[in-house]
Amino acid sequence: MTNGLLELFTIFVLAGFVGYEVISKVPSILHTPLMSGSNAIHGVVVVGSMIVLGGAHTGAEEALGFVAVVLGTLNVVGGFVVTDRMLQMFKSRQPAPRGGEARKAEPGDPS
Amino acid sequence: MSRGTAIDLCYLVAAIGFIVALKGLSSPRHARAGNLLAAGGMALAIGATFARSGLAHIWLIVVAMVIGVAVGVPVARLVKMTAMPQMVAAFNGVGGGAAAVISVTEFIGSDAKLVATYKVLEVVFGVLVGAVSFAGSAIAFLKLQELMATRPITYPGQQQINALVGLGILGIVVTILVTSSTPLLWVLLGLSLVLGVIFVLPIGGADVPVLISLLNSFTGLAVAASGFTLDSNVLVVAGTLVGASGMLLTRMMSTAMGRSLPNILFSAFGAVVTATGGEAGDANRSVRTGTPEDVGTLLAYSRKVVIVPGYGLAVAQAQHTAKELADALLEKGVDVFYAIHPVAGRMPGHMNVLLAEANVPYEELKEMEEANPEMSTADVALVVGANDTVNPAARNAPGSPIYGMPIIDADQAENIVFLKRSMRPGFAGIDNDLLYDPKTTMLFGDAKDTLQKLVAAVKKA
């Protein structure tokens, strides 16, 4: 049992480092989509909700589990759809952000 | 390979998908693919969970999911782009709520006497953090939706009340750890909700985006705690990923605003007096109002015009009209660009998204650092529905709640034109001296109407 806990704790610590390292130097225009995207990712809580409802024994547990699945599903679908809508705005001009980044290096401005 | 192993492998693939997705979301080129990859990982994880042996109440699960999808998709699809920030808050809140409910349910479902202390600790953490995130997100939603006052809300004895709630929670946590009492867990849930509310109330409207990012990170941690309770690797991995990256993102956002996180979270307590005092006389100061025709002529005969968009532009859905005006000016040979404050609107990147929707070329959008050196050579700074992001108080009024926030130096321009609905202060709830500047002309009204009149005036000039 304690070994199981240690295993989970190991995963927790490593995932913490990965989460911290995986995003770096995010341009400010992507702050909001990134927040929204990670918001969708913690929607994985719906998996936990399913397990809880799937293992419910009493009416109270069923009711709570049901609520949890509804909330978790909202988190997942809402999160992904909102993020996709935000990112769609960049879609039609995909090369533009790159051009913009490259342009930053050049001094001066067309007049 | 047993069914359990196959399911765990699916979870592993999903977890890898989440990590790669986060990586993708932090670069403009891969952001959309990253989001789709995360969605794919999520679908895989959910599908695998359906295959778990001994999963009862499958039809109940399906019904609950159908309800979630039936409500979530239309809301997320139909809501206006301007309301996106509060949608993020709402969907974050429900996630936190789900985590708290999971922890409570697992606790009442297990025989409390036999539960090991560390299990109780996981439950307590999940309930506390999940409920704070839920209640905090709800208040953030109300603030962004302007269903309640957006300024920092303070009341007498605030610090004492906060301390009392904090101590109460601490006491209850310790008691639950010792006694494994179920009724007390409900009390903890209630107090945590209260904590979430009083934690967010004193945070000013302009800081709410950073707050949502912080609450997003909290929800991640609550989900990880549920993962511990349920012995679920994928919950621990995904929750921790979001918890850690969310903390980092929160710090990046507050840095973009030139403020420290503690300053954002706790500044309202000290700043109340300066924010409300000393402005009584300001109401009598005079402002100069112009006509669209005057301003149109001024614009048409300028060499360089800088458009500074803000939330007002988003509310009025005026991004297309703003582009029309810019195009009309370009035709007249005027040099035009947009100066984008990192937190203009309600969220970082809000303006970029809106102007991109109106097909404004990327080259015309300049970020603050790039735009500010050019402000002193601009003939006109056309401030469309922005206020706090050009408020010089951020530079020269140490008592102001926004002191220290970098701003667009609109005051450096030869002329300043404000398109505003009224003299009402901006989201931060503070007055703006720039409105009373002798160089400033005010054009009151809906940003879209005014811009349309300006387009007509420029074309005539």
Lowest mean pLDDT among A86-90, B83-87, B137-141, B207-211: A86-90
d(CA B266, CA B66): 41
Mean pLDDT across chain B = 87
Q: Which residue of B has its CA nearest to A90?
A: B356
Chain A partners of B58 at a C-beta cutoff of 8 Å? 54
- State the pTM of this model: 0.75
User: Is B207 a residue whose pLDDT tops 70?
Assistant: yes
| pLDDT of amino acid A95 | 41
Evaluate whether B253 touches A30 at the Cβ level (below 8 Å): no
Catalytic residue among B207, B388, B409, B431: B388
Query: What count of other Cβ atoms lies within 10 Å of the Cβ of residue B101?
Result: 31
Residue indicated by tokens 């009492």:
B181
Q: Is B42 part of the contact surface with chain A (CB cutoff 8 Å)? A: yes
Give CA–CA dist B307/B290, Å, rounded. 17
- Dump pLDDT digits (tens) for B385-416: 888 889 888 888 877 777 778 889 998 998 89
Give me the half-sphere count of Cα atoms (radius 13 Å) on the Cβ side of residue B246: 29
Tell me the chain A residues in contact with residue B35 when contact means C-beta distances shorter than 8 Å. Answer: 33, 37, 40, 80, 83-84, 87
Interface test with B, best of A24, A29, A45, A85 (most B CBs within 10 A): A45
Q: What is the mean pLDDT of residues B38-56?
A: 94
Q: Chain B residues with CB inside 8 Å of A1's CB? A: 116
Q: Which of A35-39, B430-434, B441-445, B455-459 has the lowest mean pLDDT?
A: B430-434
Nearest chain A CA: its distance from B311 CA (Å): 15
The answer on pLDDT for B279 being more than 90 is no
The answer to whether B414 and B283 are in contact (CB under 8 A) is: no
B81/A contact by beta carbon, under 8 A: yes
Residue B277 has pLDDT above 80, yes or no: no
Rounded to two decimals, the ipTM of the complex is 0.82
Give whichever of A74-78, B313-317, B448-452 has the largest mean pLDDT.
A74-78
- B164-178 per-position pLDDT tens digit: 999 999 999 999 998
| Contact call for B49 and A51, based on CB within 8 A | yes
Q: Hey, how many other C-beta atoms are within 10 angstroms of the C-beta on A89?
A: 20
Share above pLDDT 90 across residues of chain B, in percent, rounded to a whole number? 48
Contacts for A6-14: CB closer than 8 Å, 24+ residues apart: A8/B227, A8/B228, A8/B231, A8/B233, A8/B236, A11/B233, A11/B236, A11/B237, A11/B240, A12/B224, A12/B228, A12/B236, A12/B240
Chain B residue numbers with beta carbons less than 8 Å from the beta carbon of A82 are: 76, 79, 84, 87-88, 91
- Residue from the list B64, B223, B370 with its beta carbon closest to the beta carbon of A73: B64
| Token duo for residue B342 | 């990192």
Do B357 and A58 count as a contact with CB atoms less than 8 A apart?
no
Nearest CB among B21, B63, B220 relative to A42 is that of B220
B341 sits in the region (left: phi over 0; alpha: psi -120 to 50; else beta) called beta
Highest mean pLDDT: which range of A69-78, B72-81, B262-271, B290-299: A69-78
- B249 and A93 within 8 Å at the Cβ level: the answer is no
- What is the chain A residue with the closest CA to B209? A32
CB atoms B252 and A98 under 8 Å: no
CB contact under 8 A, B18 and A41: yes
Cα separation values, B65 from A40, B71, B222, B353, Å: 15, 10, 21, 31
> B13 at the A interface (CB within 8 A)?
no
Q: Which of A12, A23, A88 lies closest to B22 in CB terms?
A: A23
CB contact under 8 A, A19 and B244: yes
Q: Between chains, do A35 and B213 touch, taking CB under 8 Å as contact?
A: yes
The Cα A24–Cα B451 span in angstroms is 39
- CA-nearest residue to B253 within chain A is A31
Question: Sheet of B380-384: strands edge to edge?
Answer: B365-367, B335-340, B304-309, B380-384, B415-420, B440-444
Is residue B322's pLDDT more than 80? Answer: yes
User: What pLDDT does residue B267 have?
Assistant: 67
Query: Mutate which of B7, B8, B25, B87 to disrupt the A interface (most A C-beta within 10 Å)?
Result: B25
Distance between CA atoms of B31 and B34, rounded to whole angstroms? 5
Distance of alpha carbon B224 from alpha carbon B222, whole angstroms: 5
How many CA atoms does the CB half-sphere of B239 hold within 13 Å?
34
Contact A31 B347 (CB under 8 A): yes
**Cβ-nearest to B350 among A32, A56, A77:** A32
Judged against a pLDDT cut of 50, whether residue A104 lies above it is answered with no
Residue B310 neighbours by CB under 8 Å, 6+ apart: B341, B344, B345, B351, B383, B384, B385, B386, B387, B388, B389, B426
Q: Chain B: nearest CA to A108, how far in angstroms?
A: 11
Tell which of A12, A18, A38 to mutate to test the B interface (max B CBs under 10 Å). Answer: A38
CA distance B10 to chain A (A): 12
Query: A69 and B64: CB-CB below 8 Å?
Result: yes
- Asked about B388 being catalytic, the answer comes back as yes
Instruction: Say how many CB pairs under 8 Å bridge A and B.
Output: 384
Instruction: Check CB contact of B57 with chain A, cutoff 8 Å.
Output: yes
Confirm or reject contact between B121 and chain A (CB < 8 A): no
Classify residue B163 by burial, with Cβ atoms within 10 Å: 0-12, 13-18, 19+: exposed
